[in-house]
A and B are shown apart, each in its own frame.
Chain A
Amino acid sequence: SAVISQKPSRDICQRGTSLTIQCQVDSQVTMMFWYRQQPGQSLTLIATANQGSEATYESGFVIDKFPISRPNLTFSTLTVSNMSPEDSSIYLCSVIRDLPYNEQFFGPGTRLTVL
């Protein structure tokens, strides 16, 4: 498995502001991802965080709204920009240590509420 931490664990933000969420893993991993879980819903992949290059975004998610960085193999950030109440969700990072086994482990999540 992998030990994954996220900061902050929760936040309440005002409309129009931005929040950066950090994801730290205890050891180097092959792949890192960011998911969103809207209230009462399932998880949806936002993007794959690529080390040293631009993230790969899923349909419906754009870099201007969700800029992502991954400067090394153990750390990534997700920014939720120009927030609106519709962005209120749990944001989770996940990692795959080794391909092709694809065991994917999740961080504790960041609960975001936008007023």
Chain B
Amino acid sequence: AQKVTQAQTEISVVEKEDVTLDCVYETRDTTYYLFWYKQPPSGELVFLIRRNSFDEQNEISGRYSWNFQKSTSSFNFTITASQVVDSAVYFCALSEQTSNTGKLIFGQGTTLQVKP
């Protein structure tokens, strides 16, 4: 069965600190996609990244970076030099390709608070 676990419920950091959000997933599919979304207090879900299971290269986008490791079934998200505007709930999600339904399985989310 597919499952996404974000063990960190809440994280609080001071501005300019680096912070890593953990995501561990379970799936029997060999082909799947992993996602990160940001949900600021306004409630809208903002797409951050999609990674397919065949691409284990790490990705960097500005202050954001993602570390995908199939060996440990993890897809962790690091924010470098955090800012107050990074305060939000972050969701990791999984989509299995075999069924091709597009269905997303979400983790429970990690609430990040960045203090000035």
Contact = CB atoms under 8 A, between A and B. Distances in A.
B25 interface: no
A42 B107 contact: yes
Interface string A30-42: 0101000000011
Name the prevailing secondary structure of the B interface residues: loop
User: What class of interface size applies to chain B in its complex with A?
Assistant: 20 to 34
Contact of B47 (A1, A58, A109): A1
B102 A108 contact: no
B43 A108 contact: yes
Interface stretch (B12-20, B60-68, B70-78, B93-101): B93-101
User: What class of interface size applies to chain A in its complex with B?
Assistant: 20 to 34
6 smallest CB-CB distances across A and B, nearest first, come from A106-B45, A42-B106, A43-B106, A108-B44, A31-B102, A96-B102
Interface stretch (A20-28, A60-68, A71-79, A97-105): A97-105
